[in-house]
Structure 1
Amino acid sequence: MNKPIAKPDKMGSYRQEDVIFLLRDISNYQIEINSDEKERLIQSGTHYSEMLPVEYQPTEEYLNLFHNTLEQYSKRVAIAVGVVAEQIMERNGLENLVLVSLARAGTPIGILIKRYLAFKYQVDIPHYSISIIRGRGFDETAIDYIYDQHEQARIQFVDGWTGKGAITFELEKSCKAYNDSRGVILDPTLSVLADPGHCVSIYGTRDDFLIPSACLNSTVSGLVSRTVLNHDIMDENDFHGAKYYKELADADVSNLYVDTLATEFEHVQNEIMAELGRLRKEDTTPSWKGMKSVELIQERFGIQNRNFIKPGVGETTRVLLRRVPWKILVNPEQSNDLTHILMLAKERNVPIEEYKDMSYSCCGIIKEL
């Protein structure tokens, strides 16, 4: 690699020792579009990564719900973090390990895995957060930067949860293209906290439960927006972009979130080890069970475009926060807490329908305009 390596902008409200965002700050550009207009543009062919949604400003009631959820699920999330972190260590070892989280849902999870490994094994593992965009792949400039900083890097990709598995596919495709062009062997294995889609082999749980960070947008992700790839305002070979919403600092709970969860690690060691023991006896090969559920939903509701179906708690939340929902399907056979889904649906007048034939707790369906 002879070309000079680009340097990222200093981004986000997390501590520098927790994560380095490999992104270009595009805060000076106005590319936020309201949900209806954004939906119309996406459905008429504009790529979603070229614009940003207007950031949802939660009501006080909804913010209280986030804090209650964090209190209620902190132990469960901490166990899942430990289970993933131990598997990552077993698979890669700790020497030359570099955690690479997928911005932005993966970022707090990557921080927690890094914190867990520091707590348990007294190691300081480098952690970067990079952009990956459906249909456009990951940010190759960011990967170049990581290899420039850590020549022998054993990269482990990290995300928050799986939906249909689109990002698993995207990562595999991106790694193949990168390996072919750079002559390296970058491993596309993705690790996630929750894998309700059954599409990865390293996960904390396959339960479709609420990870509290899924409730909010930038204010739980270091005040960083969703990532952007728009060549009208960005250079072709530069990092992917994002906005840094400094003006939301008063509402920021990003550090509170990771600090709260990290204090649980010492209290849940027995549960982590028990869960790992159980996993070792299980076949963790992806069965893509979630995709079968999605195919059934597509057929049952006559949906033309599979991208309009967003299964799982995390993805359904995103539909309610960022898209124009048609309806929300709720599985009465899965007793997971969907209070925030019901609250958001009520706020936006979105109908809720009971539907059992899926491996998820719920599923958001985008309105065809």
Structure 2
Amino acid sequence: FGFFAVALLAGSLADSLRSAGVQLEQASSEIADLQALNQHVIDSLPSGLATTDRSHRILTFNRGAEAITGVPFRVAVGRPIVDVLQLPPAVMATIQTELTSKGARRYEYRFRAADGRGELEIGLAATHLETPGGRAGLLFTFQDVTNIKKLERDVAIQQRLAAVGEMAAGIAHEIRNPLASMSGSIQILRQELPLSAEQEQLMDIVLRESERLNTTIRSFLAYARPQRFQIARFDVRRALNDTALLLRNSAELREGHEILVDVPASELWYEADEGQIKQIVWNLATNGLRAMPEGGKLYLNGAVEPSTAGVVLTVRDEGIGIPAEELDSLFQPFHGSFAKGSGLGLAIVHRIVADYSGEIHVSSQPGAGTTVSVRLPARTTVAAS
């Protein structure tokens, strides 16, 4: 009897073990499926997501993080988050300090992508990674906000330009008419009165400054007045060559300056207001010449924009360059870096390009020159300023 009892008990235990094994296998399969689902969800996020251990080394790095940073998962895992995300020391110090008292917060900083896309603007949030046993590390989520920040800057510029336009409309005519009377009166007095050499010099200064003020007012009015577009099909090569000819014979040209035009051998047709296209090139080119007080080459280039069937206008100088901190405000009114000029030339370029739904790209290194590329799509409609 004892033998049979042991056999029955052993059989029952074996059945229980088999059942437990099946249940364990099912549970393991469900856990694996759940882990796969979680990983799929994490990798499907358009934002970057990274987790770290207590020493701030990366444990998790999703596909969104790979796409934003240009750093593959296999390279990122195990490395310090500070290195992979290029976190400025001040940002990391702030994260560690403020998470203790305030929880998650958003930070923004500049990041240079590892795949050659250049400098990006990153928006990042960090929070503690909580586990049942307490805090185990940090959770970072981040996005490439370069385009969003550019749109914000463009909106700010447009708002400022609108304010300038309203102000210009109100004051330009009030100043221009008396100014013309003053200038005319001085010219008459200069002709009719016996003047000493010093008085002649003073008259010249008054007339010259009056003309400079009148030039500034004309720039104001370029904003205040709605643009009357004269849309026609023209050869962009002609516009560039005409502008180059004017520049070579203008007061902006100094000894040592050389203006070079690079255009296709065949016609480069575009439908727009030719005068406005020439103004874009002129304003960019005069800025380029002023950036080369000791001389240098100025390159004017025109080419087809394959993706939009439009054109690309490029102006490149070998001048003093533009500091990185000034690039964001380059096209704002009165930002002019040179004593000569109204400070509205580049702002006018920005407005014209915006009217054509185009884009402006600027690359510059202090001491190494500046390149400005204007991309204008094939014309559909042109917005009135």
TM, length-normalised to structure 2 = 0.19
Q: Which has the higher contact order (CA 8 A, sep 6+)?
A: 1
Structure number having the greater strand percentage: 2
Structure number having the greater helix percentage: 2
TM, length-normalised to structure 1 = 0.20
